[in-house]
Every structure is written in C-alpha cells, then in structure tokens.
C-alpha cells in the first residue's frame, strides 16, 4: 500500500510555522528563545513569500503587544515563546482576553522556575490553563504530542480563536518542538479557510471606518469598563463564552476498555507513557491511556465516563512537573460524579528526558494502589 500524500521531514517547531502559514497566519511577532527558535526562523522565511509580516520584537512584552494590534485588525496572527518569555506575554494576554481578540500563542515549554533549563517541562500547565495574567481569563489550550499535531493544531488554534474571539495557546515542550518527524502538509478536517476566518472578524475588527461605507460609526476595541456595572456585564459575557467553550473539550483514549488502571498524560509525556503501556500490555497488564488534547477546556466529562464505565479502576496522572494537571483530574473525578475513583500521581522533574522504561515501575505500583510520587 502506498501513501500518495507527500510528507516532509521537519521538526515540531517547523511544523508549527508551516501549519500556521497554511492556516492563513499572516503576521508573526516574536523574540528568540530556546527551544522554539525554529518557529521564528521558519516564519521569517515563509511569511514574506505570502505578503505577510515577520517582526522580530525587542522583547516578548512588545511581541505580544504587536500581536494584540494585529489581532485587533482581524488578521490571523501569532507569537511563540517559552518559559520566561511566556511570562512576559501575560500582560498582553490578559488584555487580549479582556478585549476578546483571536490571538494564537505557542509555548514550547522549557524547565523552570526562573531561567531553569532548556529541556522539556510541563511546569507551565497552570499558567496556560488557569489564565496566566491578571483578572479572570481563560485561554483555550491545545497540547500537541507529535510534529504532525503541531501542524494540524495550528489550524484548530486559528479556527477556535476566531470562532470564540479568544486567545488560544498551543502548549508543547522542548521535545514536541525539537522532534523531527514526517508531516503531511494538508489541512485537517476541522480547518477553517482564511475567508471563513476573515468573515468571523469582519463584524468587530478595526480597519478604518471608511471600509464600512460612508457614515459608518467608529469602532473601539478595549478592555477597560469603568462605569458602574459595566465590568460585571463584561465578565458575565466572558463567563458565558468560557462556558460555551466547554463543547470544544477533546481527548484521546488508548486501550482503556478493560484497563484496571488508566494513566492520564498529555503532550510528549503521553507519548512516553504509550510506549510504557504497550510494553506492559505485551506482558498482559491491563492498562490504558487517557490523553487530554485540550487542557482548557479540560475533558472532564470524558474522564468521568471512563470512571463510570469501570467502577473501581484507578487513575494515575503522569506529568513533567511538581503536580499540576493532577488537580484538574481530581476535580473532574471528585465525589459521586467520579464514582469514587482513586487518583494517584507520578511526577517527572522538569528538564529530564522521559523514556518508556523509567515509567514502568510507577505504573506497576499504581496498579497495586501504591503511589511513587517522583
């Protein structure tokens, strides 16, 4: 059987850039930081060829601010960074949430806190899924695990950002960004065309009032609401929107039907866990994997369905941090809705390279109800 679709051997970071441009992204603003430098480097080559704009900003503060401006103009635009750079973008991210702008940010996470290291880490989970900046806000968070998903998820990121007029963060890590794999450059089924994205922005973008015909009223995009009750109304609107986003929760399950233990892992760690579980399956151990694909909204209903399908099964969260996603898993499975399922946790320290063998023991112990924390 031959695969007639051409594939390109590229890194996850390059796949992000190709995916973004193929999805219609026309402005990129960024500041170099390891381990995501192939994104700006690739963008600086791709965007001029499609009459787009690549700007190397003076800082991540400026890059995210430029993104705010480009998004306000309704043009599919993005930035990318890692670690401390993502921290610097939180100011603009909060404003873009408050102003309801369709920003796309990619975080190829590195080890922290502080300058940390340039190895893989899932230590930015809370920052990504709980808002990250000041005030109540939520970003849609997509977690790719492969270079192909880096490509595909950029289409999904722009589609979701424009559908909800809300920032979307694609959260990978040093492994996801640096891994080199064959990638098909064809739009995924859930892609929106550039024309569809433009149509979604047409009702609100700033463009110069003349574009809307003579006598058109000026438009204003802002996040400040000082009049009494105005901010409350704005936050209620945002809350309704975040509630509506719950329909976008996505997850993948592998070999869960008969599993006594379901491991919950995302991103590059989910890949390592899959290898671990494959080896254990060959030894007759009934283990499965639940992989959140959206980290916000968190796929809690799918998780509860797994608990209800086989009462008494345990869940083991494996993540590369000091314990973050485990809190969302426990919230999802809390009380009667979670059928009293037990949730265990195993953490890898940020910066380490995970492999299938090192995860075997924590999984075996969890089957027996014993937690190896890290």
Partner 1 sequence: MNSSSMPTPDALRPRDDERLVFDAPASQADRPTHYCPGCHHGIAHRLVAEVLDELNVADRTILVASVGCSAFSYDYFTVDALEAQHGRACAVATGVRRANPGSVVFTYQGDGDMAAIGLAESVHAANRGELITAIFINNTVYGMTGGQMAPTTLIGQKTTTTPEGRHLLGEGGPLRMTELMAGLDGVAYAERCALDSVKHVRAAKKALRNAFEVQLRGLGFGFVELLSGCPTNWHMTPQAANRRISEEMIPVFPLGVTKNLLDK
What residues make contact with partner 1 under the rule CB under 8 A?
26-27, 29, 53, 55, 57-59, 61-63, 65-75, 77, 91-92, 95, 99, 206-211, 218-224
Distance CA(138)–CA(144), nearest Å, equals 19
Shortest distance, position 131 Cβ to partner 1, whole Å: 16
Please identify, using beta-carbon distances, which residue of 26 and 156 lies nearer to partner 1.
Answer: 26
Q: In terms of CB distance, is 74 or 120 closer to partner 1?
A: 74
Asked whether 80 and 57 are in contact (CB, 8 A), the reply is: no
Rank residues 73 and 285 by Cβ distance to partner 1 and give the closer one. Answer: 73
Integer-rounded Cα radius of gyration of the chain? 21
Kindly state the smallest distance separating residue 143's Cβ from partner 1, in Å: 27
3-state secondary structure of 29: strand
State the minimum distance, in angstroms, from the CB of residue 31 to partner 1: 11
Kindly give the pairing relationship between strand 261-264 and strand 314-319: parallel
The nearest distance, CB 364 to partner 1, in angstroms, is 50
Q: How far is CA 128 from CA 124, 139, 140, 187, in A?
A: 6, 7, 8, 26
Q: Which is nearer to partner 1, 220 or 247 (CB)?
A: 220
C-beta closer to partner 1: residue 218 or 229: 218
CB of 44 to partner 1, least distance (A): 14
Q: How far is the CB of 70 from partner 1 (least distance, A)?
A: 4
Closer CB to partner 1, residue 19 or residue 98? 98
Backbone angles phi and psi of 77, in degrees to 5: -145, 160
Rounded Cα–Cα distance for residues 7 and 182 (Å)? 5
Task: Tell which residue, 33, 60, 200, 201, has the closest CA to residue 133.
Answer: 60
Nearer to partner 1, 103 or 159 (CB): 103
CA distance 12 to 303: 28
Buried b (16+ CB within 10 A) or exposed e, 268-291: bbbbbbbebbeebeeeebbbbbbb
């Amino acid at each position: 059987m031959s695969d007639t679709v051409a594939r390109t051997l590229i890194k996850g970071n390059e796949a992000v850039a190709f995916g973004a441009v193929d999805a219609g992204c026309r402005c990129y603003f960024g500041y170099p930081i390891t381990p995501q430098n192939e994104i700006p480097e690739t963008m600086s080559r791709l965007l001029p060829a499609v009459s787009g704009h690549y700007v190397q900003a003076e800082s991540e503060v400026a890059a995210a601010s430029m993104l705010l401006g480009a998004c306000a103009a309704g043009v599919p635009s993005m930035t990318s960074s890692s670690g401390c750079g993502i921290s610097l973008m939180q100011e603009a991210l909060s404003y873009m949430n408050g102003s309801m702008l369709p920003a796309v940010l990619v975080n190829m996470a590195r080890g922290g806190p502080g300058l940390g290291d340039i190895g893989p880490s899932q230590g930015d989970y809370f920052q990504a899924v709980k808002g990250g900046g000041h005030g109540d806000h939520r970003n849609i968070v997509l977690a790719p695990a492969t270079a192909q998903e880096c490509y595909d998820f950029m289409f999904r990121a722009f589609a979701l950002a424009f559908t909800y007029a809300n920032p979307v963060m694609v959260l990978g890590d040093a492994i996801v960004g640096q891994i080199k794999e064959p990638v098909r450059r064809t739009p995924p089924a859930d892609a929106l065309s550039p024309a569809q994205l433009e149509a979604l922005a047409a009702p609100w973008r700033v463009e110069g009032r003349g574009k809307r015909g003579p006598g058109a009223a000026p438009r204003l995009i802002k996040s400040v609401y000082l009049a009494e009750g105005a901010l409350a109304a704005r936050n209620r609107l945002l809350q309704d929107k975040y509630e509506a986003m719950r329909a976008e929760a996505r997850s993948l399950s592998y070999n869960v039907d008969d599993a006594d233990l379901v491991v919950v892992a995302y991103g590059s760690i989910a890949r390592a866990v899959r290898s671990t579980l494959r080896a254990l399956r060959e030894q007759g151990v009934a283990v499965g994997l639940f992989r959140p694909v959206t980290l916000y909204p968190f796929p809690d209903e799918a998780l509860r369905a797994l608990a209800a399908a086989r009462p008494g099964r345990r869940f083991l969260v494996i993540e590369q941090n000091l314990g973050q996603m485990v809190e969302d898993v426990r919230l999802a499975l809390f009380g009667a809705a979670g059928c009293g399922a037990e949730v265990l946790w195993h953490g890898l320290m940020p910066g380490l390279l995970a492999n299938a063998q090192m995860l075997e023991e924590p999984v075996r112990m969890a089957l027996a109800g014993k937690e190896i924390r890290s």
